[in-house]
Structure 1
Amino acid sequence: MKVAKEQIETWKKQHGSVFKITVEDKVCYLKTPDRKALSYASSVASKDPLKFNEILLKSAWLAGDEEIKTDDTLFLSASSKLAEIIEVKEAELEKL
Protein backbone atom coordinates (compact mmCIF):
# COMPACT_ATOMS: atom_id res chain seq x y z
CA MET A 1 0.00 0.00 0.00
CA LYS A 2 1.38 3.37 -0.99
CA VAL A 3 0.22 6.60 0.60
CA ALA A 4 0.57 9.99 -1.09
CA LYS A 5 3.21 12.36 0.28
CA GLU A 6 0.45 14.94 0.84
CA GLN A 7 -1.40 12.51 3.12
CA ILE A 8 1.77 11.89 5.13
CA GLU A 9 2.26 15.66 5.53
CA THR A 10 -1.35 16.01 6.71
CA TRP A 11 -0.81 13.24 9.28
CA LYS A 12 2.37 14.94 10.48
CA LYS A 13 0.44 18.16 11.09
CA GLN A 14 -2.26 16.25 12.98
CA HIS A 15 -0.15 13.78 14.95
CA GLY A 16 3.48 14.89 14.90
CA SER A 17 5.67 11.96 13.93
CA VAL A 18 4.56 9.41 11.34
CA PHE A 19 6.23 6.02 10.94
CA LYS A 20 6.20 3.40 8.20
CA ILE A 21 6.74 -0.29 8.92
CA THR A 22 7.36 -2.60 5.98
CA VAL A 23 7.08 -6.36 6.33
CA GLU A 24 7.82 -8.17 3.07
CA ASP A 25 5.44 -6.49 0.61
CA LYS A 26 3.03 -5.19 3.27
CA VAL A 27 3.17 -1.68 4.75
CA CYS A 28 1.54 0.19 7.58
CA TYR A 29 1.68 3.82 8.68
CA LEU A 30 1.64 4.66 12.37
CA LYS A 31 1.59 7.66 14.66
CA THR A 32 3.01 7.85 18.15
CA PRO A 33 0.47 6.35 20.56
CA ASP A 34 -0.98 8.66 23.18
CA ARG A 35 -0.62 8.32 26.94
CA LYS A 36 -4.08 6.76 27.34
CA ALA A 37 -3.26 3.98 24.87
CA LEU A 38 0.15 3.39 26.46
CA SER A 39 -1.42 3.21 29.91
CA TYR A 40 -4.04 0.70 28.80
CA ALA A 41 -1.49 -1.40 26.91
CA SER A 42 0.85 -1.39 29.89
CA SER A 43 -1.93 -2.49 32.24
CA VAL A 44 -2.52 -5.69 30.25
CA ALA A 45 1.13 -6.37 29.39
CA SER A 46 1.91 -8.44 32.49
CA LYS A 47 -0.94 -10.86 31.78
CA ASP A 48 -0.67 -10.91 27.99
CA PRO A 49 2.50 -9.42 26.42
CA LEU A 50 1.18 -9.85 22.86
CA LYS A 51 -1.97 -7.92 23.77
CA PHE A 52 0.31 -4.96 24.59
CA ASN A 53 1.50 -4.97 20.95
CA GLU A 54 -2.04 -5.41 19.62
CA ILE A 55 -3.28 -2.39 21.57
CA LEU A 56 -0.27 -0.31 20.55
CA LEU A 57 -0.62 -1.22 16.87
CA LYS A 58 -4.36 -0.52 16.86
CA SER A 59 -4.05 2.84 18.64
CA ALA A 60 -1.16 4.02 16.46
CA TRP A 61 -2.60 2.79 13.13
CA LEU A 62 -3.18 5.42 10.45
CA ALA A 63 -3.39 3.27 7.31
CA GLY A 64 -1.93 0.18 5.77
CA ASP A 65 -2.36 -3.39 4.74
CA GLU A 66 -4.81 -5.01 7.16
CA GLU A 67 -2.91 -8.31 6.91
CA ILE A 68 -0.31 -6.83 9.28
CA LYS A 69 -3.02 -6.84 11.97
CA THR A 70 -4.42 -10.28 11.15
CA ASP A 71 -1.54 -12.47 9.92
CA ASP A 72 0.49 -13.73 12.89
CA THR A 73 3.84 -13.72 11.07
CA LEU A 74 3.38 -10.17 9.77
CA PHE A 75 2.03 -8.99 13.13
CA LEU A 76 4.98 -10.41 15.06
CA SER A 77 7.43 -8.84 12.61
CA ALA A 78 5.77 -5.43 12.92
CA SER A 79 5.56 -5.85 16.71
CA SER A 80 9.33 -6.02 16.94
CA LYS A 81 9.44 -2.38 15.78
CA LEU A 82 6.62 -0.93 17.90
CA ALA A 83 8.81 0.07 20.83
CA GLU A 84 10.66 2.43 18.49
CA ILE A 85 7.54 4.56 17.83
CA ILE A 86 7.26 5.49 21.49
CA GLU A 87 9.16 8.74 21.57
CA VAL A 88 10.72 9.68 24.87
CA LYS A 89 12.47 13.01 25.21
CA GLU A 90 15.51 13.54 27.36
CA ALA A 91 14.65 14.95 30.77
CA GLU A 92 16.84 16.54 33.39
CA LEU A 93 16.44 16.40 37.13
CA GLU A 94 18.06 19.10 39.17
CA LYS A 95 18.08 19.15 42.96
CA LEU A 96 17.60 22.67 44.24
Structure 2
Amino acid sequence: MEISQEQIQEWKEQYGGVYKLPVDDKVAYLRQPEMTDFKRAFAAMNKGGDIAFGEEMINSLMIGGDPEIKNDIDYFNPARKRLVELFEYDDAEVTDAKSNKTQIKIGDQKCLVRMITRDDLKTAERKNPAGKPFVTQEKLFDAICVEKDEAFNDKNNPAIRMPLYKAIEELQNKKVAWLEKL
Protein backbone atom coordinates (compact mmCIF):
# COMPACT_ATOMS: atom_id res chain seq x y z
CA MET A 1 0.00 0.00 0.00
CA GLU A 2 1.57 3.26 -1.14
CA ILE A 3 1.24 6.30 1.14
CA SER A 4 2.11 9.73 -0.27
CA GLN A 5 4.48 12.20 1.37
CA GLU A 6 1.55 14.62 1.54
CA GLN A 7 -0.43 12.11 3.60
CA ILE A 8 2.54 11.57 5.92
CA GLN A 9 2.89 15.33 6.35
CA GLU A 10 -0.82 15.62 7.18
CA TRP A 11 -0.45 12.90 9.80
CA LYS A 12 2.59 14.64 11.31
CA GLU A 13 0.60 17.85 11.63
CA GLN A 14 -2.33 15.98 13.14
CA TYR A 15 -0.50 13.58 15.47
CA GLY A 16 2.90 15.17 16.07
CA GLY A 17 4.93 12.11 15.12
CA VAL A 18 4.53 9.27 12.65
CA TYR A 19 6.33 5.93 12.52
CA LYS A 20 6.73 3.60 9.58
CA LEU A 21 6.62 -0.09 10.53
CA PRO A 22 7.55 -2.34 7.62
CA VAL A 23 6.98 -6.08 7.99
CA ASP A 24 8.28 -7.95 4.97
CA ASP A 25 6.15 -6.80 2.03
CA LYS A 26 3.60 -4.90 4.17
CA VAL A 27 3.80 -1.53 5.94
CA ALA A 28 1.91 0.01 8.84
CA TYR A 29 1.98 3.69 9.74
CA LEU A 30 1.61 4.47 13.43
CA ARG A 31 0.94 7.76 15.12
CA GLN A 32 2.99 8.88 18.07
CA PRO A 33 1.63 7.30 21.27
CA GLU A 34 0.28 9.29 24.19
CA MET A 35 0.09 8.23 27.83
CA THR A 36 -3.56 7.27 27.39
CA ASP A 37 -2.45 4.75 24.75
CA PHE A 38 0.14 3.26 27.10
CA LYS A 39 -2.40 3.14 29.93
CA ARG A 40 -4.92 1.22 27.80
CA ALA A 41 -2.23 -1.12 26.50
CA PHE A 42 -0.86 -1.91 29.97
CA ALA A 43 -4.39 -2.45 31.26
CA ALA A 44 -4.97 -4.87 28.37
CA MET A 45 -1.67 -6.60 29.15
CA ASN A 46 -2.70 -7.06 32.80
CA LYS A 47 -5.80 -8.92 31.60
CA GLY A 48 -4.53 -10.65 28.46
CA GLY A 49 -0.72 -10.70 28.42
CA ASP A 50 1.80 -9.49 25.86
CA ILE A 51 -0.42 -10.29 22.87
CA ALA A 52 -3.20 -8.08 24.28
CA PHE A 53 -0.67 -5.27 24.80
CA GLY A 54 0.45 -5.52 21.16
CA GLU A 55 -3.12 -5.67 19.88
CA GLU A 56 -4.12 -2.58 21.84
CA MET A 57 -1.07 -0.59 20.74
CA ILE A 58 -1.33 -1.49 17.06
CA ASN A 59 -5.11 -1.00 16.99
CA SER A 60 -4.83 2.37 18.75
CA LEU A 61 -1.84 3.73 16.87
CA MET A 62 -2.23 2.43 13.32
CA ILE A 63 -3.36 5.30 11.08
CA GLY A 64 -2.68 3.74 7.69
CA GLY A 65 -1.03 0.98 5.74
CA ASP A 66 -1.74 -2.67 5.21
CA PRO A 67 -4.45 -4.11 7.51
CA GLU A 68 -2.76 -7.53 7.40
CA ILE A 69 -0.30 -6.21 9.98
CA LYS A 70 -3.20 -6.02 12.45
CA ASN A 71 -5.08 -9.09 11.28
CA ASP A 72 -2.60 -11.71 10.05
CA ILE A 73 -0.54 -13.39 12.80
CA ASP A 74 2.46 -13.77 10.45
CA TYR A 75 2.66 -9.97 10.20
CA PHE A 76 1.29 -9.09 13.63
CA ASN A 77 3.87 -11.03 15.67
CA PRO A 78 6.98 -9.33 14.25
CA ALA A 79 5.20 -5.95 14.31
CA ARG A 80 4.25 -6.18 17.99
CA LYS A 81 7.82 -7.09 18.94
CA ARG A 82 9.02 -3.78 17.45
CA LEU A 83 6.65 -1.75 19.65
CA VAL A 84 9.20 -1.73 22.46
CA GLU A 85 11.01 0.95 20.44
CA LEU A 86 8.12 3.32 21.21
CA PHE A 87 9.43 3.41 24.81
CA GLU A 88 12.75 4.97 23.87
CA TYR A 89 12.65 8.29 25.70
CA ASP A 90 15.42 10.41 27.15
CA ASP A 91 16.46 9.34 30.62
CA ALA A 92 15.82 11.72 33.46
CA GLU A 93 18.78 13.29 35.23
CA VAL A 94 18.29 12.97 38.97
CA THR A 95 20.37 15.18 41.27
CA ASP A 96 20.17 15.86 44.98
CA ALA A 97 19.10 19.34 45.99
CA LYS A 98 18.98 20.97 49.42
CA SER A 99 16.66 20.00 52.26
CA ASN A 100 15.86 16.40 51.24
CA LYS A 101 14.74 17.46 47.79
CA THR A 102 15.69 16.08 44.40
CA GLN A 103 15.76 17.75 41.01
CA ILE A 104 14.52 15.71 38.07
CA LYS A 105 15.53 17.04 34.67
CA ILE A 106 14.17 15.65 31.40
CA GLY A 107 15.66 17.42 28.42
CA ASP A 108 15.34 21.12 29.27
CA GLN A 109 12.40 20.58 31.64
CA LYS A 110 12.89 20.44 35.41
CA CYS A 111 10.94 19.70 38.53
CA LEU A 112 11.79 19.55 42.19
CA VAL A 113 10.40 16.80 44.41
CA ARG A 114 10.59 16.19 48.12
CA MET A 115 11.53 12.95 49.80
CA ILE A 116 8.94 10.20 49.32
CA THR A 117 7.38 8.93 52.53
CA ARG A 118 5.54 5.73 53.28
CA ASP A 119 2.37 7.78 53.76
CA ASP A 120 2.83 9.25 50.26
CA LEU A 121 2.98 5.74 48.82
CA LYS A 122 -0.07 4.58 50.77
CA THR A 123 -2.08 7.65 49.76
CA ALA A 124 -1.14 7.29 46.09
CA GLU A 125 -2.17 3.63 46.13
CA ARG A 126 -5.49 4.47 47.85
CA LYS A 127 -6.22 7.02 45.11
CA ASN A 128 -5.97 4.21 42.56
CA PRO A 129 -8.35 1.55 43.92
CA ALA A 130 -8.80 -0.06 40.51
CA GLY A 131 -5.03 -0.48 40.10
CA LYS A 132 -5.00 1.30 36.74
CA PRO A 133 -1.57 1.56 35.09
CA PHE A 134 0.39 4.76 35.83
CA VAL A 135 -2.32 6.30 38.03
CA THR A 136 -0.43 5.58 41.26
CA GLN A 137 2.70 7.20 39.80
CA GLU A 138 0.65 10.26 38.76
CA LYS A 139 -0.81 10.60 42.24
CA LEU A 140 2.57 10.12 43.87
CA PHE A 141 4.16 12.79 41.69
CA ASP A 142 1.31 15.19 42.49
CA ALA A 143 1.95 14.61 46.21
CA ILE A 144 5.73 15.06 46.22
CA CYS A 145 6.20 17.77 43.60
CA VAL A 146 7.42 21.03 45.09
CA GLU A 147 7.86 22.98 41.85
CA LYS A 148 7.79 22.16 38.17
CA ASP A 149 8.10 23.55 34.68
CA GLU A 150 4.90 23.81 32.65
CA ALA A 151 5.71 20.63 30.65
CA PHE A 152 5.09 18.51 33.77
CA ASN A 153 1.43 19.58 33.76
CA ASP A 154 0.79 17.57 30.58
CA LYS A 155 -0.15 14.16 31.95
CA ASN A 156 -0.55 12.77 28.43
CA ASN A 157 3.04 13.41 27.24
CA PRO A 158 4.98 10.13 27.48
CA ALA A 159 8.29 11.86 26.62
CA ILE A 160 8.02 13.55 30.04
CA ARG A 161 5.92 11.05 31.99
CA MET A 162 7.79 7.82 31.20
CA PRO A 163 11.23 9.13 32.33
CA LEU A 164 9.58 10.94 35.27
CA TYR A 165 7.92 7.76 36.54
CA LYS A 166 11.17 5.83 36.10
CA ALA A 167 13.03 8.50 38.10
CA ILE A 168 10.42 8.41 40.88
CA GLU A 169 10.71 4.62 40.98
CA GLU A 170 14.49 4.97 41.35
CA LEU A 171 14.01 7.45 44.21
CA GLN A 172 11.87 4.86 46.00
CA ASN A 173 14.54 2.20 45.61
CA LYS A 174 17.81 3.87 46.57
CA LYS A 175 18.75 0.89 48.69
CA VAL A 176 19.09 -2.62 47.29
CA ALA A 177 17.29 -5.50 48.98
CA TRP A 178 17.34 -9.24 48.45
CA LEU A 179 15.90 -12.25 50.16
CA GLU A 180 18.00 -15.23 51.16
CA LYS A 181 16.61 -18.56 52.24
CA LEU A 182 18.61 -19.91 55.16
Unpaired stretches in structure 1, ≥5 consecutive residues: none
Checking the alignment, whether the CA contact within 8 Å between 2:44 and 2:56 is kept in structure 1 is no
Work out whether residues 32 and 87 of structure 1, in 8 Å CA contact, stay in contact via their aligned partners in 2. Answer: no
C-alpha root-mean-square deviation of aligned residues, in Å? 1.4
- The offset of 1:73, in angstroms, is 1.0
Greater shift after overlay, 11-20 or 53-62? Answer: 11-20
Cα distance in 2 for partners of 1:27, 1:33 equals 18
Identical positions, percent: 36
Matched, 1:70 2:109: no
CA contact (8 A) 1:30 1:62 kept: yes
Letter in 2 for 1:38: F
C-alpha distance in 1 between matches for 2:46 and 2:93: 29
Question: Paired residue for 2:24?
Answer: 24
- Using the size of structure 1 for normalisation, the TM-score is 0.88
SS in 1 for 2:47: coil
* Partner residue in 2 for 1:41: 41
Structure having greater relative contact order (Cα 8 Å, sep ≥ 6): 1
Task: Tell me the SS of whatever aligns to 1:2.
Answer: coil
CA distance in 1 between partners of 2:88 and 2:33 (Å):
9
- Can you give the 5+ residue segments of structure 2 that lack an aligned partner in the other structure? 98-182
The aligned amino acid for 2:71 is T
Match of 2:61 in 1: 60
Structure 1 outlier segments of 4+, above 3 Å: none
Q: Match for residue 94 of structure 1?
A: 95
How much has 1:85 moved relative to structure 2? 2.4
For the pair shown, the structure with the greater C-alpha radius of gyration is 2
> How many angstroms does 1:82 deviate by?
1.0
Task: Give the drift of 1:87.
Answer: 4.5
Tell me the number of residue pairs that the alignment of Structure 1 and Structure 2 aligns.
96
Superposition TM-score, scaled by structure 2 size: 0.49
Q: Is the 8 A contact 2:20 2:30 kept in 1?
A: yes
Q: 1:64 to 1:14 in 2, by over 3 A?
A: same
Give the whole-Å Cα distance in 2 for the aligned partners of 1:62 and 1:37.
14
